[in-house]
């Protein structure tokens, strides 16, 4: 069955094209999909069908008839996992670089979810059949510590801790140029880029985002300068560390999206690793903290 969604435009949206406005609101839909929905009158503005280029006005009410998704059959696959901890409630693992966390168009096999279905059998169903057990995610090319929920109670508890900024998430990264200060805080909102929809950016239209960083080591000089940092996430926005460090002039080494022009390519993608993950166990109430070892290729670059 399809579902109806009502979106209310405000002053910040005035003058935006209808299709662009909807792309900002419906992040999982491509612009082509949204334009097709507009053509077939699945999108109404104040009760009337409109063109994709119709400019948004303050107070507009946009109704979207979202079609029911076609759910593929996600199969269990015998993929090795680097497990740091496991009991009947949760599983903590060290995700390898290059592994997609959950199935999505173009990635219905070889994902962490495929591996978890084989390894665990039973997982939390809160996020549906495509994301069973997935409480939080790491980018495909980001390695490191990640926790999975095996039941809905554990999932709810862990999600609430993430939302309340109670979970500890420390990352290690190699960034370009010399970071002069020994540490600092980037407190800038992050949202979807208005033109390149695959990118996030610092924008006042975005959601609050805060990253603390600390210098661990500095290497080289001039154009060959790099800095090894630890980043502490307060919030957990998409690409947050990558966007924030780029914003202050220090894109991650090897980042294909935000670090173009790097004279050294980090193997496989951005030099970012989720090093430490801490949280309260949803069943025992005990605080737990796990450290994921840096991959060998990361150590070589250091």
Q: For 173-199, write each residue's pLDDT tens digit.
A: 999 999 999 999 999 999 888 777 678
Give the residue with greater pLDDT, 283 vs 107: 283
Q: What's the whole-number mean pLDDT along residues 25-40?
A: 83
What is the rounded distance in angstroms from the CA atom of residue 161 to the CA atom of residue 51?
A: 42
Residue 2 makes CB contacts below 8 A (sequence gap 6+) with 65, 66, 67, 68
- Tokens standing for 38? 């507009």
Residue 229 makes CB contacts below 8 A (sequence gap 6+) with 172, 173, 174, 175, 179, 213, 214, 215, 216, 245
What average pLDDT is seen over the chain? 90
pLDDT, position 216: 98
Say what the pTM is: 0.78
Give the residue with greater pLDDT, 223 vs 69: 223
Q: Which of 49-53, 76-80, 124-128 has the lowest mean pLDDT?
A: 124-128
pLDDT, position 70: 58
Burial class (CB in 10 A: 0-12, 13-18, 19+), 149: buried
Give start and end residues of each alpha helix (H) in the chain. 18-25, 31-39, 112-119, 152-163, 240-247, 296-301
Q: Which of 198, 295, 298, 208 is nearest to 244 (CA)?
A: 208
Q: What's the whole-number mean pLDDT along residues 13-26?
A: 89
Cα 105-109-114 angle, rounded to 5 deg: 115
Cα 21-26-32 angle, rounded to 5 deg: 75
Q: CB–CB of 130/73 below 8 Å?
A: no
* DSSP secondary structure letter of residue 280: E
pLDDT of residue 2 exceeding 60, the answer is no
pLDDT of residue 71 exceeding 70, the answer is no
pLDDT, position 195: 73
pLDDT of residue 1 exceeding 70, the answer is no
Hey, what domains does the chain have and what are their CATH numbers? 3-66 (3.10.290.10), 83-164 (3.30.2350.10), 170-270 (3.30.2350.10)
Give the residue with greater pLDDT, 33 vs 261: 33
Active-site residue among 13, 19, 60, 139? 139
Q: What's the whole-number mean pLDDT along residues 3-29?
A: 86
Q: CB–CB of 253/177 below 8 Å?
A: no
- Condensed to tens digits (0 to 9), the pLDDT of residues 140-171 reads 999 999 999 999 999 999 999 998 999 999 99
What is the rounded distance in angstroms from the CA atom of residue 18 to the CA atom of residue 203?
A: 20
Q: What's the whole-number mean pLDDT along residues 113-120?
A: 93
139 in active site: yes
Q: What's the whole-number mean pLDDT along residues 196-210?
A: 87
pLDDT, position 118: 94
pLDDT, position 261: 59
CA atoms within 13 A on the CB side of 20: 14
Residue 87's pLDDT band (cuts 50, 70, 90): very high
CA atoms within 13 A on the CB side of 201: 12
Please provide the DSSP assignment of 101-121 as one string: SS-BTTBSSSSHHHHHHHHTS
pLDDT, position 264: 64
What is the rounded distance in angstroms from the CA atom of residue 171 to the CA atom of residue 193?
A: 24
- Condensed to tens digits (0 to 9), the pLDDT of residues 229-274 reads 999 999 999 999 999 999 999 999 999 899 875 556 778 889 999 9
Q: CB–CB of 70/104 below 8 Å?
A: no
Residue with tokens 């997982």: 123
Own/partner pairs for 162-168, CB < 8 Å, 24+ apart? 162/135, 162/136, 162/236, 165/234, 165/235, 166/279, 166/280, 167/277, 167/278, 167/279, 168/232, 168/276, 168/277, 168/278, 168/279, 168/289
């Amino acid at each position: 069955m399809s579902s109806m969604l009502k979106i209310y435009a405000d002053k910040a949206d005035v003058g935006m094209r209808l299709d662009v406005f909807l792309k900002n609101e419906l992040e999982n839909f491509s612009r082509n999909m949204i334009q097709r929905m507009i053509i077939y009158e699945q999108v109404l503005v104040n009760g009337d069908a409109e063109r994709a280029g119709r400019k948004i006005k303050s107070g507009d009410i946009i109704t979207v008839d979202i079609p029911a998704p076609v759910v593929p059959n996600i199969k269990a696959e015998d993929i090795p996992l680097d497990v740091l901890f496991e009991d009947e409630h949760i599983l903590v693992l060290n995700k390898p670089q290059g592994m997609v966390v959950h199935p999505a168009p173009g990635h219905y096999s070889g994902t962490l979810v495929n591996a978890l279905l084989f390894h665990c059998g039973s997982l939390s169903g809160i996020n549906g059949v495509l994301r069973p057990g997935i409480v939080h995610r790491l980018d495909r090319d980001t390695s490191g510590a990640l926790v999975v929920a095996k039941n809905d109670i554990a999932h709810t508890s862990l999600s609430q801790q993430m939302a309340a900024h109670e979970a500890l998430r420390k990352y290690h990264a190699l960034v370009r140029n010399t970071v002069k200060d020994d540490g600092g805080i980037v407190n800038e909102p992050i949202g979807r880029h208005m033109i390149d929809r695959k990118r996030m950016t610092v924008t006042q239209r975005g959601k609050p985002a805060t990253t603390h960083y600390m210098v661990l080591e500095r290497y080289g000089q001039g154009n060959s300068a790099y800095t090894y940092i630890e980043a502490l996430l307060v919030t957990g926005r998409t690409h947050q560390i990558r966007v924030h460090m780029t914003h202050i002039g220090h894109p991650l080494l090897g980042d294909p999206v935000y670090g173009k022009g790097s004279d050294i390519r980090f193997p496989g993608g951005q030099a970012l690793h989720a090093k430490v993950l801490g949280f309260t166990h949803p069943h025992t109430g005990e605080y737990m903290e796990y450290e994921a070892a840096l991959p060998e290729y990361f150590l070589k670059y250091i």
